[in-house]
Amino acid sequence: MAKVPTARIDKLLSSMGYGSRSEMARLGKAGGITLDGAEVADVARRIPVTPDLPLRMRVDDEALDPVAGLVILLNKPLGMTCSHKEEGPLVYDILPRRWRRRDPAISTVGRLDKQTSGLLLLTDDGDLLHRIISPRRHVKKTYRARLARPLTGAEAAVFASGDLRLEGDDKPLAPAELRVLSGTEALLTVTEGRYHQVRRMFAATGNHVEALHRERLGGLTLPEGMAPGEWRLLTPAEVAQVFDPG
Ligand code: URA
């Protein structure tokens, strides 16, 4: 059985962004931290860090934030970026402010362009992140694309060929699957995550992507009714769906 990790309360709360260890010591003395209903004055105490801790611990009379190992599903809105290198508001701004100070830090699992919406995962679990984005895992990503010009009918074969080499890339793309929905709308499923991949794939066929939305990652679909900007934590069973063939 996996050993349950333990942590000092002041260190744990500090790593979750609540404040410095001395601030946590002050908060504990002032009665602002409780565990199983009892005040924790001694924040140097070590406790087991179990996933149910948010149900048992309160800080400033609020349930503790999720402990490390969290996975967030976000319906990324248009206009927000996944990278500090790009200009504009960051997807991290949607999350509670103190989560920016968490250690380990929360990162996006791959990236969506500023002008791409839809299913985006964020996690502080580096191993999981790498397993999802690893090209060896072939996790499928499905995008709904609205195009500037009508599809010609030749695109599906080009994308499925495994021979399409995008400008500037040294290797051809892995085969991808196109499902045409209408003259100017299609679902494209890819297993790689190259830079601006979907936009560049349609550009290679002489078209232009006007709107792009990610609907699916592996076997995990963006829930219907989840509004842009909405997010929630995923359960372990939902995380496992990412590795379902989809
Ligand atoms: N392909 C793109 O071109 N943009 C994205 O955001 C994702 C895939």
My answer on whether 211 and 144 are in the same domain is yes
Q: Is the CB of 144 under 6 A from ligand 1?
A: no
Q: Give the chain as a 3 state SS string.
A: CCCCCEEEHHHHHHHCCCCCHHHHHHHHHCCCEEECCEECCCCCCEEECCCCHHHHEEECCEECCCCCCCEEEEEECCCCECCCCCCCCEHHHHCCHHHHHCCCCCEECCCCCCCEEEEEEEECCHHHHHHHHCHHHCCCEEEEEEECCCCCCCHHHHHHCCCCCCCCCCCCCCCCEEEEEECCEEEEEECCCCCCHHHHHHHHCCCCEEEEEEEEECCEECCCCCCCCCEEECCHHHHHHCCCCC
Q: Indicate which residue of 36, 52, 60, 113 is catalytic.
A: 113
Q: Is the CB of 196 under 6 A from ligand 1?
A: yes
My answer on whether 150 and 205 are in the same domain is yes
Residue 167 lies in a domain: yes
For the domain that residue 91 is a member of, what is the CATH number?
3.30.70.580
**Mean pLDDT across 100-129:** 98
Residue 240 lies in a domain: no
Residue 1 lies in a domain: no
Q: Is the CB of 81 under 6 A from ligand 1?
A: no
Index of the ligand 1 atom closest to the CA of residue 111: 6
Tell me which amino acid residue 240 is: A
For the domain that residue 157 is a member of, what is the CATH number?
3.30.70.1560
Q: Is the pLDDT of residue 1 over 70?
A: no
Query: How far is it, in rounded angstroms, from Cα 61 to Cα 166?
Result: 54
pLDDT of residue 126: 98
- Ligand 1 pocket: which of 82, 114, 198 to mutate (most atoms within 8 A of CB): 198
pLDDT confidence of 135, banded at 50, 70, 90?
confident
pLDDT confidence of 246, banded at 50, 70, 90?
low
Question: What domain count does the chain have?
Answer: 3
**Mean pLDDT across 188-194:** 96
My answer on whether 144 and 213 are in the same domain is yes
Choosing from 63, 85, 106, the residue where a domain stops is 63
Query: Domain limits at 12?
Result: 6-63
